[in-house]
Amino acid sequence: EAGVTQFPSHSVIEKGQTVTLRCDPISGHDNLYWYRRVMGKEIKFLLHFVKESKQDESGMPNNRFLAERTGGTYSTLKVQPAELEDSGVYFCASSRRRQETQYFGPGTRLLVL
Amino acid sequence: DQQVKQNSPSLSVQEGRISILNCDYTNSMFDYFLWYKKYPAEGPTFLISISSIKDKNEDGRFTVFLNKSAKHLSLHIVPSQPGDSAVYFCAASPPSGSARQLTFGSGTQLTVLP
Q: What is the pLDDT of residue B76?
A: 98
Tens of pLDDT, residue by residue over A58-101, are: 999 999 999 999 888 999 999 999 999 999 999 999 999 877 88
| pLDDT exceeds cutoff 60 at B64 | yes
Torsion angle, CA of B54/B56/B60/B61, rounded to 10 degrees?
150
Measured between CA atoms, how close is A5 to chain B, in angstroms?
10
pLDDT level of residue B98 (50, 70, 90 thresholds)? low
Q: What is the mean pLDDT of residues B32-60?
A: 94
Task: Give the pLDDT of residue A54.
Answer: 93
Residue B11 in contact with residue B19, Cβ under 8 Å? yes
Per cent of chain B over pLDDT 90 is 88
Contact A69, A49 (CB under 8 A): yes
Per-residue pLDDT band at B67 (split at 50, 70, 90):
very high
Count the neighbouring beta carbons within 10 Å of the beta carbon of residue A66. 12
- B99: contact with A, CB 8 A cutoff: yes
Mean pLDDT of A32-55: 92
**Nearest chain B residue (CA) to A4:** B43
- What's at B20, amino acid-wise? I
